[in-house]
A = this chain, B = another copy of it.
Amino acid sequence: MKSPIISLQSAGVLGSNRDAVRQHNLSIILQMIHFYGTVTRSQLTSATGLNRSTISDLVSELEQLGFAHETEGAATSGVGRPSLVVTASTKVVAFAVHPEIDATTVGLVSLSGKVLKTVRVVMGQNPTAADSVKTAAKAIAELRDGLQSDQRIAGIGVAIPGQVRVSDNVVRFAPQLGWIEQPFGSMLSQATGLPVFVDNDASIGCMAERNFGAARGLLDAVYLFAGSGGIGGGAIVNGSQLRGASGYGGEFGHVRIGGAADVDYSGLSGTLESLVRRDDLLQVFKMYSATDQELDQEIRSTKSKEAIKILRKQVASLGAGISTYVNIFNPEAIILAGFLSSLFNFDPEGLIESMKAGTLKAAQERVVIRNGELGEETLMVGSAELAFHGLLENPSDAQLVPVKKAR
């Protein structure tokens, strides 16, 4: 049931006039090119239902706009004249920024969703928002210098471990970084002259897995992500990302699932984040800090009874949390990322059992628990999606910035 909201005050956007049709068709085709990187023209015709000649016209418009190329590809599959292959232009890129407690990562991503470069700048402890903006802007400037002069930039996407007001790109509260009410978006936009789009890291991860990863094409999915800063999540409902009225939706780490003993990063008790703690695992393994890979290795190989006990407890808690989200969303899949994947790998049956114990029979029938597929590239790919979004929605009016500033 996807009825659009009908409001008598909505000034002229509900009706489809002819321009809107053209825009929609261009958008759909560019999105297919974007999500799949490479599509044949015959695939475009059958998927959209539009006429061959219309597709021809639309693709050549996208080519003229500089978003796609057509080549006589080798995608020969069966009899008949081979279809032309359409690929995303390499001339359109976006930057991705991910501030963390000890480093800021900056990436360069192409319109085909490929991560071209990644720069990780290690910083002193507890960087302020200004520090992070400065570091990111410098890295972006360097990457920008390395671009060809005919390339164009869609913008910068930023993944923040914390709550973000999406409407004006303000970081409301990022407990791990210690940031409160930081207008990160406008700061970085000022420093770079590029449009900036900020969002919560877990929401971005969810979007990345939906567009390019383990949740690709799903209409209903839940994503749970755990980094060093706690647990976040995202959900796809009816094919669209859960955002909420102000963009704070999907705070799955802060939902109460159990007793009230432990307290999470935000001062709430009995939450998923307080029961499934990365730090507790590091402690039992006597590690001070570790990458997800190192931690995963330890989890896979441990024989320590104490560690196993803690792991089992965390698996049970994670299962209880998942059951909550299964009851609420009735998703097709639960996607796990960060060290939650390691917990799943450690005891998949245990996790599934614990999930099933808390879910209604009907809802648990179809659901699948799965690990994310994008790994370290998740946030780079997802952040870039924020920057590409406007372009994908309305290709003919897209505002791209040239590599070299006009003098």
- Indicate with 1 or 0, residue by residue over A1-32, a CB within 8 angstroms of chain B CB atoms: 11111111111111111100100110010011
Please report the C-alpha to C-alpha distance between residue A57 and residue B13 in the assembled complex, in whole angstroms. Answer: 19
One of B15, B328, B331, B392 near A251 (C-beta < 8 A) = B328
Count of residues in A whose CB is under 8 Å from the partner chain: 88
A402 at interface, CB cutoff 8 A: no
* Residue pair B47, A31 in contact (C-beta under 8 Å): no
A346 at interface, CB cutoff 8 A: no
A228 at interface, CB cutoff 8 A: no
* Residue pair A11, B245 in contact (C-beta under 8 Å): no
Please report the C-alpha to C-alpha distance between residue A15 and residue B23 in the assembled complex, in whole angstroms. Answer: 11
Please report the C-alpha to C-alpha distance between residue A24 and residue B17 in the assembled complex, in whole angstroms. Answer: 10
Closest residue on chain B to residue A31 by CB atoms:
B6
**A30 CB to closest chain B CB, in angstroms?**
10
A312 at interface, CB cutoff 8 A: no
Looking at chain A's contact residues, the main secondary structure is: loop
One of B241, B246, B255, B330 near A324 (C-beta < 8 A) = B255
* Residue pair A360, B47 in contact (C-beta under 8 Å): no
- Which are the 8 A-B pairs with shortest beta-carbon distances? A244-B330, A12-B49, A15-B48, A15-B50, A249-B330, A248-B330, A237-B237, A245-B332
- Give 28 pairs: A residue, B residue, CB < 8 Å, sorted on A: A1-B241, A1-B389, A3-B389, A5-B219, A6-B47, A7-B47, A7-B217, A8-B39, A8-B47, A9-B47, A12-B48, A12-B50, A13-B49, A163-B360, A165-B362, A173-B360, A220-B244, A220-B249, A237-B238, A238-B242, A245-B330, A245-B367, A247-B330, A248-B330, A250-B330, A251-B328, A254-B327, A255-B328
